[in-house]
């Protein structure tokens, strides 16, 4: 049954948008009209045939929303619960379509349901939507289909997506306060430079007093900000663009990733997050029945650091030649010794997935502790920086005022 995306206005004037399954546009308009919705835009979610790698290329409409990690995590948990309760897969996806609120994700699930109805595997149907389902997600679903333990694999996938969403939320929460402080400080400083300091500088000029160097610097910065603010914005945008091009280049990206791993304050945290992602993802893939070499191909993209990606690629090549996983990881020196040691123990005991899971749990605890420490360190550091800026402004203003009062 075709899937349509609609946009319109409710009786109270609010904008309403969503998706509906129906045979034609007329029945959708009639149904929405009965609900008090006046349709202004109605489009069918089309699917085009492509090559063998992906049967469908789903075209999102212009008003589609982005699918967040939290939305996908919640949907995965709901699907795992439905399948685990013994509900057939197609009926579970239908229930998921009705439950999902995000219009884009709702449309994606509706398209997946249609493809599964046509006899396509769930993993292949999800593969038609690479912007929503990652290679890791798709491979885990395919492994569940192959092993016949779809409910177990979906449960693991739900746990994995939830843990990834929680980690991202913690990282964003730790950075939120410092970013807000920096923005407020820049705003207040700009206001002082543009409004307050020019008025004070006119008073100094009228007194014909030789200004101290700090006051001259302050007035220069104020005049530059007031008269050439557009140039300052252009410089900042140019620097941001240049930095983005640099870290996206083949030469700049490895250098930036190496710097992140060795940075004094953030370096240990970046390494811990990468280790957590590596071990958690590899444990989930192996426990779900994904072959080891395929798991390495997937997990190398999860760490999001080219320096560590090279280590994982080297480890994959060594494993392909018959070597253990722990040996190349230990030789690289990029992973903490406890990681290679526990992997070696897991390989010898045949409990590699369990050991990788324990490493991930241990480093998740360390990431939480490091984030708390980082937050507690940044707060006083930012206050000190703000105090220095305020002190410089006050000192630069008071010096000539004291000289003027001494001559009076």
CA angle 87, 134, 110 (to 5 degrees): 45
**Residue 100 predicted with pLDDT over 80:** yes
Mean pLDDT of 70-97: 86
- Terminal alpha carbon distance of the chain: 89
Q: What is the pLDDT of residues 342-356, one digit of tens each?
A: 999 999 998 998 999
pLDDT of 219 reads 87
**405 contacts: CB under 8 Å, gap ≥ 6:** none
In this prediction the pTM is 0.65
Q: Which two tokens stand for residue 17?
A: 């948008």
CATH code given to domain 174-408: 1.20.81.30
Place of tokens 């409409």: 61
Q: What is the pLDDT of residues 158-201, one digit of tens each?
A: 888 888 778 778 778 777 877 888 888 888 888 888 888 888 88
Cα–chain center distance at 351: 31
Average pLDDT, the chain: 81
Q: Which two tokens stand for residue 195?
A: 């409004």
**Residue 317 predicted with pLDDT over 70:** yes
3-state secondary structure 264-332: CCCHHHHHHHHHHHHHHHHHHHHHCCCCHHHHHHHHCCCCCCHHHHHHHHHHHHHHHCCCCCHHHHHHH
pLDDT of 53 reads 37
CA angle 28, 33, 36 (to 5 degrees): 135
Mean pLDDT of 274-286: 88
Cα–chain center distance at 272: 17
In whole angstroms, what is the distance from residue 288 CA to residue 282 CA? 10
User: For residue 171, which of 74, 274, 244, 245 has the smallest C-alpha distance?
Assistant: 274
**313 contacts: CB under 8 Å, gap ≥ 6:** 296, 300
pLDDT of 224 reads 83
Strands 56-58 and 3-9: unpaired
- Crossing angle of the two packed helices 150-191 and 352-407, in degrees rounded to 10: 10
Q: What is the pLDDT of residues 117-127, one digit of tens each?
A: 888 888 888 88
pLDDT of 406 reads 63
Question: What one-character DSSP code corresponds to residue 51?
Answer: -
**329 within 8 A of 335, measured Cβ to Cβ:** yes
- Per the model's pLDDT, the better-predicted residue between 324 and 379 turns out to be 324
């Amino acid at each position: 049954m075709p899937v349509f995306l609609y946009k319109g206005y409710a009786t109270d004037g609010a904008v309403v948008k969503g998706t509906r399954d129906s045979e034609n546009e007329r029945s959708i308009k009639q149904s929405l009209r009965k609900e008090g919705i006046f349709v202004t835009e109605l489009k069918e979610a089309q699917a085009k045939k492509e090559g063998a790698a992906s049967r469908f290329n789903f075209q999102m409409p212009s008003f589609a929303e982005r699918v967040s990690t939290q939305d996908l995590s919640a949907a995965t948990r709901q699907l795992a619960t439905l399948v685990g309760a013994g509900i057939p897969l197609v009926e579970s996806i239908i229930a998921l379509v009705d439950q999902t609120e995000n219009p884009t994700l709702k449309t994606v699930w509706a398209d997946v349901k249609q493809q599964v109805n046509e006899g396509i595997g769930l993993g292949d149907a999800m593969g038609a939507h690479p912007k929503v389902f990652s290679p890791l997600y798709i491979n885990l679903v395919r492994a569940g289909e192959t092993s016949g333990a779809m409910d177990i694999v979906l449960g693991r996938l739900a746990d994995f997506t939830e843990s990834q969403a929680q980690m991202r939320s913690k990282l964003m929460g730790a950075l939120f306060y410092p970013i807000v402080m920096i923005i407020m400080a820049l705003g207040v400083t700009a206001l002082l430079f543009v409004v307050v300091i020019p008025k004070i500088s006119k008073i100094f000029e009228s007194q014909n007093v030789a200004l101290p160097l700090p006051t001259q610097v302050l007035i220069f910065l104020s005049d530059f900000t007031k008269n050439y603010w557009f140039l300052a914005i252009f410089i900042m945008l140019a620097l941001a663009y240049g930095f983005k091009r640099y870290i996206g280049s083949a030469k700049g990206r490895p250098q930036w990733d190496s710097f992140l791993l060795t940075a004094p304050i953030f370096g240990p945290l970046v390494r811990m997050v990468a280790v957590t992602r590596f071990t958690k993802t590899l444990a989930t893939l192996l426990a779900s029945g994904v072959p080891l070499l395929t798991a390495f191909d997937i997990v190398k993209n999860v760490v999001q650091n080219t320096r560590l990606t090279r280590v994982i690629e080297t480890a994959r090549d060594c494993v392909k030649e018959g070597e253990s996983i722990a040996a190349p990881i230990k030789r690289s020196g990029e992973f903490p010794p406890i990681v290679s040691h526990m992997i070696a123990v897991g390989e010898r005991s045949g409990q590699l997935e369990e050991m990788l899971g324990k490493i991930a749990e241990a480093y998740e605890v360390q990431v939480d502790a490091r984030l708390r420490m980082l937050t507690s360190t940044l707060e006083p550091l930012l206050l000190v920086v703000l105090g220095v800026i305020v002190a410089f402004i006050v000192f630069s203003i008071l010096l000539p005022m004291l000289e003027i009062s001494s001559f009076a």
